[in-house]
Chain A
Amino acid sequence: MTEEREALIAAVREFADAELAPNAARWDAEKHFPTDTLRRAGALGLGGVYVREDFGGSGLTRSDAVAMFEELAKGDTAIAAYISIHNMVAWMIDTFGDDVQRERWVPGLTEMTDLGSYCLTEPGAGSDAAAITTSASRDGDDYVINGVKQFVSGAGSSAVYVVMARTGEPGAKGISAIVVPDGTPGLSFGRNEQKMGWNAQPTRQVVFEDVRVPTTNRLGAEGDGFGIAMRGLNGGRLNIAACSLGGAQWALERALGYVRERETFGAPLATNQSIMFTLADMETELQAARALLERAAAKLDEGASDVVPACAMAKRFATDAAFNVANTALQLHGGYGYLHEYGIERVVRDLRVHQILEGTNEIMRLIVGRDLVNRL
Chain B
Amino acid sequence: MNDASPFLDLDPGGPRVSVRFDGTDHALPEGANLAAALLAAGVRVFRATPVSGAPRAPFCMMGACYDCLVLIDGVTRQACMTRVTDGLVVERAPGRDLHDG
Task: State whether these chains interact.
Answer: no
Residue positions of A touching B, CB distance < 8 A: none
